[in-house]
Structures are given as structure tokens and as C-alpha cells.
Structure 1
Amino acid sequence: MKIYKEKIKIIKGFTLIETMVAVFILSLSVVGIVGMISSSYFSAVYSKNEITATYLMQEAVDYVRNDRDTSVILGGQDWNSFISKYNSCSTVDGCYLNILDNSIYSCSSDPDESFGEIVCPRFTLDEGSIPYYNYNSLPGNSNFKRKIVIEGNSSNPNQIDMYVTVEWKNGNLVRSRSLEYSILNWTN
């Protein structure tokens, strides 16, 4: 009688532990990629807000400089008339400019504008064919506020110092950027 020994075939494949390790490594790489994408998105939003704040500060400086030049060249106004136009900007709360209708308004506390230290109203973002920031009768829908303070220079009567601050909300944090600029009476 023949005795047959049955040979057990060894099937090669992954064990449960090897499979779990592979799934874990794959999961870590997916989580890492999602984290990098999320971080990149928030960095892009932060950079966009920084650039917008810089443009809003520069817009205020350019507006006041242009107003000085236009007042002297076309309006025949003197330096003191130009300075008196910006009296509402000489307080601690400062002022804000509506570029569209050439208006200057004093900033005052508004409970609807309750973030940050600036008490000026928030900008409204007009998202037409060319988006731009402005002030209108509607409450501001953007996260940006701008304050302008203009002070006479005690050592030079032919100079005013302009301080522009822009605040915005970046998530739950309030960020701000400031700019100091001197404007001279170039007619003297």
C-alpha cells in the first residue's frame, strides 16, 4: 500500500499585518497631501489680503497727493485751504475717503463694525465686471477697514504727515498694516 503524503502548498501573498502597514502608509501620505493643499490655500488667501491691504493704503496716499496737486494747479487754492479740507482726519479716530464721490468722512464708533481697533466702516466690495472696494449706503460686505490720520508737522509748516492703517479679518484673527507718508507744500 502506498502512503501518499499530501504536500501543503504555500501560497505567497500579503499577511494581514503587511496590509495594515500599507494602508497606514497610504493614509499618512493622503493626509499629508490634503494638509499641504489646505496650508497652500490659506497662505494664498493671506497673501491676497496682504496685497489688497497694501493697495488700499496706497490708494489713500495717491488720492490725497492728487487732491493736493489738483487743488493747487486747477483750483488755485493755497496750502492752508488744502489742509483745512482734511480737518476731520486730524482726530485719533481719523477719517475715511469715498473715492467715488470725493467725500471725506469722520470715523465714529459703529456697533456693526466691531472688529479690530479702527472705528471706520468696512469697505463694500463691488463685484461688477471690474471688482473694486468703495463705501456706499449699504453695510460693508468686505473684511477691510481703512483709517487715515493727517497731522501737521511741528518742525515744518510746509509738511503734513499722513498715517494710513488698514485692518482686515483673516479667519478669526484681525490683521493690520500701516503706512506713514509725508506730503509737502511743493509750491513754496
Structure 2
Amino acid sequence: MKFIKIIKNKILAASCNLSCVRKLFPKNLPPIRPPRLLSGMSGAAAYNLQPSAKGFTLIETLVAISILMVAVASPLTIAQKGLASAIYAKDQIIASYLAQDAIEYIINASDKNVADGKGWLLGISDNCGTACAVNTRIDSGIASCAGTCDALNYNESTNIYSHDSTGGDNKASPFTRTVKATEGPTDEALITVTMSWKDKGADRSLNFYTRIFNWR
């Protein structure tokens, strides 16, 4: 009897439409959709049997990669520029202190000349009329530069910049200090200190000015 019932169900299924099939076999039966005809075509080859799920196109992938690259590169660029600005600011501070060091040395040398009853610009105007180097580590440390002044050297132990010869803890620094004295009206002179250095291949320079007077 069971076998006859199965045969009977199969015969009924063959003669029914889709609604009959769902009534006879309601369990575990996936939805049945009729195949879709392609526009302008007919016959068995005209059915679109491709899956309906969509994936990423090449353009969408390239756009996503571009957005990711911009998101990663932007913070790195900002960090790099910030680091370069910090290094330049540090060099500016060092240059300003080195210029102030030379100016104070020139002022002290002029005051000493006046106190000793000598010409107030003795050793200054004759050496620094065009350009001179000032070594603040020693007395009479003003020397005329023949053309271009030498770069300052840096002592890694004492953290002092000077024109002392290199060797030991003295290493060449990127800073060059050039001093010029220009006599103005009576008992007055303009002192110009130019600090120059290299910053990643770029030439940097700062000028500092002060006026000294013959107070005698």
C-alpha cells in the first residue's frame, strides 16, 4: 500500500502546477522561480542562468584602494612636515644664541678698549670692516676672514661652539658666524652678525643687528 501511495503522489505531481507540488511536498522545498528571458532573445540559450549576487567591480576596488592610501599617507605627511618644522625651529634658536654670543663679545671688547684708554673700536673696525670671525673662547678672538669665514666647531663634552680646531670632542657644526662692523656717525657703529647653516641641503640664514657707542 505504501508503494502504491508513492506512485500515486508522483503521478499527481506530474500533472499539477507549482502550487500542487508545494502542497504535496511542503517541507524543505526551496522557492522555485521561472528562468528569466534575456531581452531580444528566445529559445533555450536565451535564459539568464548567472547568479544574481553582486561583487566589487575593478573601479570600486581601485577607488577603495585610493581612499585607503590617502587615509594612510596624510598623517605621515603631516608628521614629516611637523618634524621638519621642529628641526628648523631648533636651528633658529641655536643661531640666535650664537649671534648674541658674538654681539656681547664685541660690546665687551669695545668697553675694554675704552676702559684701557685705547681707541674704542681697536681690533674691531680693522678686522671686521668687511667680515670677521669671533672666537668667544679666548681673548683677542677677533680675526678677519679672508673671503668666507670658517664654520664653527661644536664640543660634544662642553656643548660649546667655537673656532677651536677639530679633534677629540670638537666636531664640525653646520653653523657659520660672520660679523661685520660698520662705523656710522661719530662715536657710533653698526654691528651685523649673519648666521648661516645647511638644513637638509637648503641654505638658511638669519641676520642680527645692534649698535654700539663710544661712551667715553
Asked if TM exceeds 0.5, the reply is yes
Which of 117, 121, 138 does residue 150 from structure 2 map onto? 121
Describe the superposition over 1:29-68 as per-residue Cα deviations: whole angstroms up to 9, x where unpaired: 1101110111111111111122222222111111111223
In structure 2, distance between residues paired with 1:143 and 1:179: 18
* 1:136 maps onto 2:173 in alignment: no
Q: For 1:136, what is the secondary structure of its paired residue?
A: coil
Q: Is the 8 A contact 2:110 2:122 kept in 1?
A: no
* 1:63 maps onto 2:92 in alignment: no
Q: Is the 8 A contact 1:95 1:106 kept in 2?
A: yes
Residues matched between the structures, number = 168
In structure 1, distance between residues paired with 2:32 and 2:160: 81
How do 1:26-175 residues align onto structure 2 when only pairs under 5 Å count?
A: 26-72=68-114, 76-78=115-117, 80=119, 82-86=120-124, 87-90=126-129, 92=130, 94-102=131-139, 103-109=141-147, 119-128=148-157, 130-138=158-166, 141-153=172-184, 155-156=185-186, 158-175=187-204
Q: Which runs of 5+ in 1 are unaligned?
A: 110-118
Instruction: Kindly report the root-mean-square deviation, in angstroms, between the aligned alpha carbons of the 2 structures.
Output: 2.8
Flag the structure with more relative contact order, 1 or 2, with Cα contacts below 8 A and sequence separation at least 6: 1
State the partner residue of 2:4: none
CA change 1:15–1:63 in 2 (3 A) is same
Cα displacement (A) at 1:21: 3.8
In structure 1, distance between residues paired with 2:133 and 2:32: 91
Q: For 1:123, what is the secondary structure of its paired residue?
A: strand
In structure 2, distance between residues paired with 1:142 and 1:169: 10
Identity of aligned residues (%): 27
Cα displacement (A) at 1:19: 5.5
Cα displacement (A) at 1:150: 1.3
Cα displacement (A) at 1:7: 6.9
Describe the superposition over 1:3-28 as per-residue Cα deviations: whole angstroms up to 9, x where unpaired: 8546799889x736655544432221
**TM-score when normalising by structure 1:** 0.75
Describe the superposition over 1:79-126 as per-residue Cα deviations: whole angstroms up to 9, x where unpaired: 51x412222111x2x1111111121211124xxxxxxxxx00001122
